[in-house]
Amino acid sequence: MNLLLQPTFDTPHNTYPFPDISVADIDEAVQHGLQQEKEEIDAIAHNPAAPTFDNTILPLAESGALLERATTLMYNQLSANTGDELEAVAEKLSPILTEHAADIMQNKALFARVKAVYEAEVVHPTLSEEDRMLLQQTYDGFERSGATLTPEVQQRFKAVKSELAQRSLQFSQNNIKATNSFFLHLTNEADLDGLPEGQIEQAAAAAQERGLTGWVITLHAPSYVPFMQYSTQRHHRETLYRAYMTKCTHDDAYNNFEHCRALVNLRMEQAQLLGYRHYADYVLRKRMAEREERVEELLDDLKAHYLEVARREVAAVEQLAQAQKGTDFCLMPWDFAHYAHLLQLRDYNLDAEMLRPYFELSRVEAGVFGLATKLYGIRFEENPDIPVYHETVKAYEVFDTDGTFLAVLYTDFFPRASKQNGAWMTSYAEQHIDAQGIDHRPHVSVTMNFTPPTAGKPSLLTFDELETFLHEFGHALHGIFARTHHKGLSGTNVYWDFVELPSQFMENYARQPEFLKGFARHYQTEEVIPDTLIERINRAHNFNVAYACIRQVSFGLLDMAYYTRTTLLTTDIPTFEQQAWESVQLLPIVPEACMSVQFGHIMSGGYAAGYYSYKWAEVLDADTFEAFLEGGLFSREVAQRFRDHILSRGGTVHPQTLYNNFRGRPATIRALLKRDGIVMPAAD
């Protein structure tokens, strides 16, 4: 029996029964879901009654439940727990799903009804604020999907969307496979010089998994990042860097050059078919930034404040390297993390390995959950009866301050071959309130690639990994607190340059003594993290902060360079990339290195023409955290306002209005500059 075809699952909170669903089940459910939604759409489009919100917009928003259930599982598992069989099915279904979506959005009879409801509401407004937003989103969705195009242009538009979906999927699969295909095998103990004990144990375990003696370093972050930081073996650092930065550039099955070019050109064509100048113009109409000039203003403002500071930071790192290696030493990209680490150790007596013993994962998890309890009064209870998709995944029930059930939260912490690099939050079920007034609570997941445990040690996180946990947990809270009527407006379904506010806001707590002392204990001695270490964390917080900012700016410039094009991209990808961010490059360029071919955010993810969003949201998060510094670090009153005005409202209101309602005014860059130590606050 295919459980995906059943009305409900016999599981707590109707959660997916992962172990009992096969790839074949997903395939079959998608096929059934496609047919079912076609019938639902046909019934809406040919309803003989005059079009209204209740008989057109609502049933359209609620259509395709079976298809959504099956594709949600498929796409989430492609990222978190993929395999050859699932990838083959996804590749087969991708063009079918794309064509199906295009057929709906270009259905003339359906659009005529949507348009009639939209125009009637413009003349005589009767809907609630949330329903009006759903109507606006629905109408805009049709228009932005080619509903107003001629039949000939619609056909081309559908073909473009289909190829985009296929190329995007292939790009992601190539990236995962290229990452997994390389490892550095070390057999000489001298090659381990400088590495922390924990990483050596991890490398030995990685070798054993492959049936090898010695040690293995991979391109997965928990292996790659500390090696680049700690290893004294420059030739090995160079080998790893070149392997990482040439992923998907080689003459093999994982090459992404043509996928990159096609994705950029297809997105340009998609936008121009709809009458926009370029893809960024199309995207930004549905962003807080609204137009490319405002993105450019942000990036220029950041360059003006941070670039010279960043150059001084890089010069300081190079000076240290030259003091050790000679004045003719040229600092290369594979050197920066290593010598920056040594400089931080020298100037701040701080090293990531000093902090690891205090950040044992289970205690970090308890601390992060406890922070949510302090701020919002919610609590988390693990429920082993909720099925999970991998033995290392855990499932929790989340309860509100009054004991009512809020959400299911899955946590998936460790890297594996079936999982993409990076960290993300996703939903397996969106919150919504149905026509009977029943509040369907969300099922959300936070997925990371943390340092795994070894035979001799539990999982001990770096400070960066603590911040990553807080970041993804902030996204999770955005989903957990959702309280809207419509799935499409629920939780993180907000403008892309607003979605990072709840996540980046949470990172601010990583440096707060009151937070750290609540959970950070030495995993062996039980010693609470010393004040001296916390002081060092805070003194070193702005270490190379300008370098990090300009790195983000460079990604934003590359993104905008690709997606403000009005003519086809014919330049080779590495050359285009180097020209796009040349004005902010701080280290020598390695000609064969190329980030675009592995830059999933802007190629196969949702950040095309939107990478600036991280810095846009950083302005918001710094300004938001000032409200807590003013009202109390764990202020329930301020937290409740943040929950009421931001976290629970999803996309039901324009984000600028939501922010203004929370803060009483728009955000400015001042709080970010102050936090980063770029300018000091003015004296009273």
Q: Per-residue pLDDT tens for 17-41?
A: 999 999 999 999 999 999 999 999 9
pLDDT > 90: percent of the chain: 96
Structural domains in the chain plus CATH codes = 3-105+107-144 (1.20.1050.40), 182-245 (no CATH), 357-541 (1.10.1370.40)
Contact 423, 53 (CB under 8 A): no
Q: What is the largest CA-CA distance in the chain?
A: 83
pLDDT tens track for 76-93: 999 999 999 999 999 999
Q: Stretch 44-51: mean pLDDT, rounded?
A: 98
472: annotated active-site residue: yes
List the catalytic residue out of 313, 472, 500, 577: 472
The overall average pLDDT reported for the chain is 96
**Which pLDDT band, with edges at 50, 70 and 90, does 681 fall under?**
very low
Query: How many CB atoms neighbour CB 438 within 10 A?
Result: 9
d(CA 238, CA 220): 16
Pairing of strands 443-447, 405-412: parallel
Contact 368, 512 (CB under 8 A): no
Written as one string, the DSSP assignment of 236-287 is HHHHHHHHHHTTT-SSSTT--HHHHHHHHHHHHHHHHHTT-SSHHHHHHTTS
Predicted confidence (pLDDT) at residue 435 exceeds the cutoff of 90: no
**Which pLDDT band, with edges at 50, 70 and 90, does 682 fall under?**
low
d(CA 195, CA 179): 22
Contact 334, 237 (CB under 8 A): yes
d(CA 442, CA 429): 5
d(CA 22, CA 2): 8
d(CA 261, CA 256): 9
Contact 266, 634 (CB under 8 A): no
Question: In this predicted model, which residue has the larger pLDDT, 422 or 75?
Answer: 75
Alpha helices in 436-572 (DSSP H): 463-480, 501-507, 513-516, 531-539, 545-563
Residue 351: what pLDDT? 87
- Reported as type and span, the H/E element at residue 344 is helix 333-348
- Reported as type and span, the H/E element at residue 183 is strand 183-186
d(CA 513, CA 367): 12
**Which pLDDT band, with edges at 50, 70 and 90, does 684 fall under?**
very low
Predicted confidence (pLDDT) at residue 683 exceeds the cutoff of 60: no
What SS3 class is residue 674?
helix
CA 47 vs CA 41, 142, 249, 535: distances in Å: 10, 19, 53, 67
466: left (phi over 0), alpha (psi -120 to 50) or beta: alpha
**Three-state secondary structure readout of 227-250:** HHHHCCCHHHHHHHHHHHHCCCCC
pLDDT tens track for 274-294: 999 999 999 999 999 999 999
Q: Stretch 666-681: mean pLDDT, rounded?
A: 85
Residue 605: what pLDDT? 82
Contact 79, 445 (CB under 8 A): no
pLDDT tens track for 444-491: 999 999 999 988 899 999 999 999 999 999 999 999 999 999 999 999
Q: 């400088």: which residue's tokens? A: 194
d(CA 673, CA 682): 12
What SS3 class is residue 8?
coil
Nearest to 217 by CA among 236, 194, 238: 236
Q: Stretch 340-365: mean pLDDT, rounded?
A: 95
**Residue 328 is encoded by which pair of tokens?**
């003719």
Q: Using a CB cutoff of 8 Å and minimum separation of 24, what contacts does 295-301 make?
A: 295/556, 295/560, 295/612, 296/560, 298/612, 298/615, 298/616, 298/619, 299/553, 299/556, 299/557, 299/560, 299/612, 299/615, 301/669
Residue 352: what pLDDT? 85
Residue 456: what pLDDT? 86
Query: How many CB atoms neighbour CB 388 within 10 A?
Result: 19
Contact 121, 135 (CB under 8 A): yes
d(CA 332, CA 363): 38
pLDDT tens track for 585-611: 999 999 999 999 999 999 998 899 999
pLDDT tens track for 157-214: 999 999 999 999 999 999 999 999 999 999 999 999 999 998 999 999 999 999 999 9
Contact 166, 95 (CB under 8 A): yes
Residue 212: which residues within 8 A CB-CB, separation 6 or more? 185
pLDDT tens track for 195-204: 999 899 999 9
Residue 181: what pLDDT? 95
d(CA 166, CA 158): 12
